[in-house]
């Protein structure tokens, strides 16, 4: 395992994985307003992020879910498998009721939505740094109720989809064709077609037209509910 180049030992070194340059720049500035934190590197894709992180391990990695080509959840799982002591925090525009538990299951130590306040982001970093798990109060309550066998609201239909199926469903809602989705995810069009059929079966969708309509509606609804999509 490579050794951390700690530089200034008084600072906590954070690596950013985010594919929106403007948001990434703003995130860097916000985090470095805290003198205890230092952004030691950044990347907009999983390939370069993996190489940079593994060659000079940071103290924490903050990962967006939506990255070009592959999901940030894949990188989160890879880091958990290879470097189990390296904490990751998922920061995303995606609805926490769908993605937060998925992020925890693949190894993330916390989940925070992009529209949250700077203070909450700092709280999340400090919590993960201290070895705790960070979620919003609402999400923490929902998970605890589920753990003790209770019920919260009716489960979302999309909860039955795997992470990869959800990626495909989201891209269908973004108007991408099967070939375009296959290129983005580095999978064959035949494999994407298989995912489409599985999604239709799980969501009780009758045909491709209805699949596209449902996916578009979900994407539009999610963006309407989110104060920020960047």
Q: Where are the domains of the chain?
A: 12-146, 157-225
Read off the pLDDT of each residue in 91-115 and give the average, rounded to a whole number. Answer: 86
pLDDT score recorded for residue 69 = 67
* pTM reported for the whole predicted model: 0.72
Q: Greater confidence, 200 or 223?
A: 200
pLDDT band at 15 (very low <50, low <70, confident <90, very high): very high
More confidently predicted of 27 and 95: 27
- Mean pLDDT throughout 189-207? 91
Sorting pLDDT into bands at 50, 70 and 90, what band is 229? very low
Tell me: pLDDT of 82 over 90.
yes
- Mean pLDDT, the chain, rounded, equals 84
Return the SS3 of 198: helix
Query: E strands within the chain?
Result: 12-17, 37-43, 60-63, 88-92, 110-113
Which 3 state secondary structure label does DSSP give 74?
helix
Cα separations in angstroms, 199 against 6, 88, 97, 168, 175: 46, 29, 19, 9, 16
Tens digit of pLDDT for each residue in 104-137? 999 999 999 888 777 889 999 999 999 999 998 8
Q: What is the CATH number of domain 12-146?
A: 3.40.50.2300
Cα–Cα distance, 96 to 83 (Å, whole number): 25
The yes-or-no verdict on residue 212 having pLDDT over 60 is yes
Residue 9 binned pLDDT confidence (cut-offs 50, 70, 90) = low
pLDDT band at 222 (very low <50, low <70, confident <90, very high): low
Check residue 164 and give its pLDDT. Answer: 87
Q: What is the pLDDT of residue 223?
A: 55
Q: Do domains 12-146 and 157-225 have the same CATH topology?
A: no
d(CA 230, CA 218): 18
Mind listing the pLDDT tens digit for each residue in 137-177? 888 777 676 667 655 554 457 778 888 888 899 889 888 89
How is domain 157-225 classified at the CATH fold level? Arc Repressor Mutant, subunit A (1.10.10)
């Amino acid at each position: 395992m490579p050794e951390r180049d700690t530089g200034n030992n008084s600072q906590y070194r954070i690596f950013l994985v985010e594919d929106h340059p403007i948001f990434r720049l703003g995130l860097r500035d916000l985090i470095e307003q805290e003198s205890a934190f230092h952004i030691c590197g950044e990347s907009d894709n999983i390939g370069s992020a993996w190489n940079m992180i593994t060659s000079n391990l940071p103290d924490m990695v903050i990962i967006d879910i939506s990255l070009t080509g592959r999901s940030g959840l894949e990188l989160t799982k890879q880091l958990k498998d290879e470097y189990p002591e390296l904490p990751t925090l998922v920061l995303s525009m995606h609805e926490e009721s769908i993605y937060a538990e998925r992020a925890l299951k693949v190894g993330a130590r916390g989940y925070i939505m992009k529209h949250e306040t700077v203070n909450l982001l700092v709280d999340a970093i400090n919590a993960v740094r201290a070895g705790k798990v960070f979620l919003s109060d609402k999400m923490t309550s929902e998970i605890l109720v589920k753990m003790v066998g209770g019920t919260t609201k009716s489960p979302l239909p999309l909860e039955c989809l795997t992470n990869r199926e959800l990626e495909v469903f989201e891209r269908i809602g973004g108007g991408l064709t099967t070939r375009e989705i296959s290129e983005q995810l580095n999978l064959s069009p035949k494999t994407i077609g298989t995912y489409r059929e599985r999604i239709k079966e799980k969501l009780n969708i009758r045909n491709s037209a209805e699949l596209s309509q449902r996916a578009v509606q979900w994407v539009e609804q999610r963006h309407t509910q989110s104060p920020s999509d960047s």
